[in-house]
Amino acid sequence: MTAVRARSVGKCFRRYARPTDRVAEWFGASPRHSLFWAVRDVSFEIERGGALGLVGDNGAGKSTLLAMAAGAAVPTEGSIEVRGRAGSILELGAGFHGEFSGRENIFLAGAAQGLSREEIAARADAIVDFSELGDFIDQPVRTYSSGMFLRLAFSIATAAEPDVLVIDEALAVGDQRFQAKCTERIQRFLADGGTLLFCSHNLYQVKKLCRQAIWVDAGQVAAQGDAAEVCDVYADRSRARLLRGSAGLSADAPAGAGAAPLVSIDKVRAVDGSGRPLTRIEAGEPVTVQVWLERDPGGNADPGVAIGVVRSDGLVCYCGSTELDGARALPLGGDRYFVALHFPRLDLLGGSYHFNVATIDSRRPLTMLDVKEGEAPFSIVNSKADWGVCRLAHEWRSEEGPGQDPVSPEVSRA
């Protein structure tokens, strides 16, 4: 059953060069505005229990689209239908009264979500517990940090048990631990049959939470489909714009401008020590990353790769390349190649990780030709009590005494 359906939806705003132009129109002057379409001709459907991600640059129209889905804005053209009750986290702190305490805003925001006072009261303690605001819950929300706003807004929106949850960049605020806590609640919400419309600049979060995604560019759909594929296409375009800008070229070249990468990534696969797809391992177990490459027909690049192991908070734990280690990709015939990076022991400690992979021409290794981020996400379980980033080889020695105190050697003088 379809939970959210958008049909050729668009939102238009009037733009005025000066505030007085708006006043002049009120008093009957000729039109002094221009029209700006923040969103134009966007269509999509989300089945019940599904999750759709929105990606795109700032100002692309994502927030306007989410506002219409949440009922906070009315489409200029087309329609958005939402079946069931919608809960939303849009502009951070929107709907909160700055002089009211967090507890009072629970009742205010809960009523806006369509809950009765009795329903809100029954959920209030759980909202406070999840938000972890402690004594701050009885302080005016104008004194809250952006992270505290998020905790309260997210706790209220999810406690209302909506059928459809609309989230605009909310997980970008707050510490890593609370972000993980929010992600777990969203995953439970989806597992229970909830429907998610999610916007984030964190492409890893979009890939993890959503099956489908839309890249919104200048108010229109630039790409739509599988979340991983859409995120990769958007990331590729963003990097291309950055590279063109740094080279003094136009950052807004047409989608088809420029040649294809000299060496492109066809597929990335990671396996554990038993050859199974990598999903969850113990710290110290072996891991192999396999990469299939394709060289531009007629090109003479020497295909190579750089592979990074990245923790979910963005920390690059390790990065190496075929060029640095003197390794070469295996020709498979034609312009196809294969290379694998094997870790006999991946001694990273517990957490969520993924791989970033880039192709290079081994004769010009400083330029990344094609990049895929967030590939083969997996988790590491640390069954021991040590902590940090990685496990270093070590041994404790106590069977021998310390011996003599070290003595600084004499410095010879000329």
Residue 87, phi then psi, degrees to nearest 5: -115, 145
Work out the end-to-end distance of the chain between its first and last CA atoms, rounded to an integer number of angstroms: 89
Is the same domain home to 369 and 269?
A: yes
By the 8 A CB rule, do 138 and 101 touch?
yes
393 in a domain, yes or no?
no
**What number of other Cβ atoms are within 10 A of residue 122's Cβ?**
12
Average pLDDT over residues 121-125: 88
pLDDT recorded at residue 250: 46
Is the same domain home to 185 and 318?
A: no
134 in a domain, yes or no?
yes
* Residue 245 in this model has a pLDDT that exceeds 60: no
Q: Amino acid letter at 330? A: L
Range of the domain at 138: 92-152
Q: Which residues pair with 153 in a beta bridge?
A: none
Is the same domain home to 362 and 275?
A: yes
Split into its structural domains, the chain has a count of 3
**pLDDT tens digits, one per residue of 286-324:** 999 999 999 988 778 889 999 999 988 778 899 999 988
Q: Edge-to-edge strands of the sheet including 330-333? A: 263-272, 287-295, 336-343, 330-333
- 299 burial type by CB count under 10 A (0-12 exposed, 13-18 middle, 19+ buried): middle
Question: What whole-number distance in Å separates Cα of residue 345 and Cα of residue 286?
Answer: 5
Average pLDDT over residues 314-340: 91
User: Nearest to residue 369, comparing CAs of 326, 319, 305, 322?
Assistant: 305
* Residue 141 in this model has a pLDDT that exceeds 90: no
Of the three residues 234, 255, 285, the one that is the final residue of a domain is: 234
pLDDT recorded at residue 251: 47
**pLDDT tens digits, one per residue of 345-390:** 999 988 889 999 999 888 776 677 888 888 999 999 887 777 788 9
Q: Edge-to-edge strands of the sheet including 77-82? A: 33-47, 2-16, 77-82
Is the same domain home to 122 and 76?
A: no
| Mean pLDDT for the chain overall | 84
Is the same domain home to 306 and 218?
A: no
Which has the minimum average pLDDT: 149-158, 204-213, 363-372? 363-372
pLDDT recorded at residue 408: 55
Query: CA 190 → CA 58, 139, 150, 172, 232, distances in Å?
Result: 27, 33, 20, 20, 24
Average pLDDT over residues 146-152: 81
* Residue 81 in this model has a pLDDT that exceeds 80: yes
User: Nearest to residue 351, comparing CAs of 323, 373, 379?
Assistant: 379
* Residue 247 in this model has a pLDDT that exceeds 50: no
User: What confidence category does residue 254 fall into, taking pLDDT thresholds of 50, 70 and 90?
Assistant: very low
Is the same domain home to 59 and 204?
A: yes
Q: Amino acid letter at 233? A: V
48 in a domain, yes or no?
yes
Q: Which two tokens stand for residue 193?
A: 């049959």
User: What confidence category does residue 92 fall into, taking pLDDT thresholds of 50, 70 and 90?
Assistant: low
Q: Which two tokens stand for residue 64?
A: 């306007």
Question: What whole-number distance in Å separates Cα of residue 65 and Cα of residue 69?
Answer: 6
Q: Which residues contact 286 (CB under 8 A, 6 or more apart)?
A: 272, 273, 342, 343, 344, 345, 346
pLDDT recorded at residue 312: 80
Is the same domain home to 76 and 221?
A: yes
Residue 157, phi then psi, degrees to nearest 5: -60, -40
Average pLDDT over residues 251-265: 60
Average pLDDT over residues 116-132: 87
Is the same domain home to 310 and 366?
A: yes
403 in a domain, yes or no?
no
pLDDT recorded at residue 216: 94
The DSSP annotation for 326-393 comes to T--PEEEETTEEEEEEEES---B-SEEEEEEEEEEETTBTTS--EEEEEEEEEEEE--SS--SSBPPP
The DSSP annotation for 367-382 comes to S--EEEEEEEEEEEE-
Most confident of the ranges 85-99, 149-163, 227-241: 149-163
User: What confidence category does residue 241 fall into, taking pLDDT thresholds of 50, 70 and 90?
Assistant: low
254 in a domain, yes or no?
no
Is the same domain home to 69 and 103?
A: no
Question: What whole-number distance in Å separates Cα of residue 47 and Cα of residue 30?
Answer: 46
Average pLDDT over residues 225-245: 73
341: domain CATH number is: 2.70.50.60
pLDDT recorded at residue 193: 92
Question: What whole-number distance in Å separates Cα of residue 347 and Cα of residue 86?
Answer: 44
Q: Which residues contact 176 (CB under 8 A, 6 or more apart)?
A: 312, 313
pLDDT recorded at residue 341: 96
109 in a domain, yes or no?
yes
Is the same domain home to 61 and 167?
A: yes
Most confident of the ranges 105-119, 221-235, 361-375: 221-235
* Residue 185 in this model has a pLDDT that exceeds 90: no
User: What confidence category does residue 228 fall into, taking pLDDT thresholds of 50, 70 and 90?
Assistant: confident
Is the same domain home to 347 and 274?
A: yes
392 in a domain, yes or no?
no
pLDDT recorded at residue 409: 53
302 in a domain, yes or no?
yes
**pLDDT tens digits, one per residue of 20-33:** 888 888 877 788 88
Average pLDDT over residues 78-105: 81
User: What confidence category does residue 397 fall into, taking pLDDT thresholds of 50, 70 and 90?
Assistant: confident
* Cα 291 to chain centroid, rounded: 23
If one compares 372 and 404, the residue with the highest pLDDT of the two is: 372
pLDDT recorded at residue 214: 95
Question: What whole-number distance in Å separates Cα of residue 188 and Cα of residue 193?
Answer: 9
∠ CA(357), CA(363), CA(369), 5° rounding? 35
Query: 């599904």: which residue's tokens?
Result: 50
pLDDT recorded at residue 324: 87
pLDDT recorded at residue 407: 57
Is the same domain home to 133 and 281?
A: no
* Residue 212 in this model has a pLDDT that exceeds 90: yes
**What number of other Cβ atoms are within 10 A of residue 293's Cβ?**
27
Q: Edge-to-edge strands of the sheet including 351-361? A: 280-282, 370-381, 351-361, 303-311, 316-321
Q: Which two tokens stand for residue 202?
A: 């964190």
Of the three residues 124, 152, 180, the one that is the final residue of a domain is: 152
User: Nearest to residue 168, comparing CAs of 67, 21, 37, 290?
Assistant: 67
Q: Please, what is the angle between helix 176-191 and helix 146-159, to 10°?
A: 10
16: domain CATH number is: 3.40.50.300
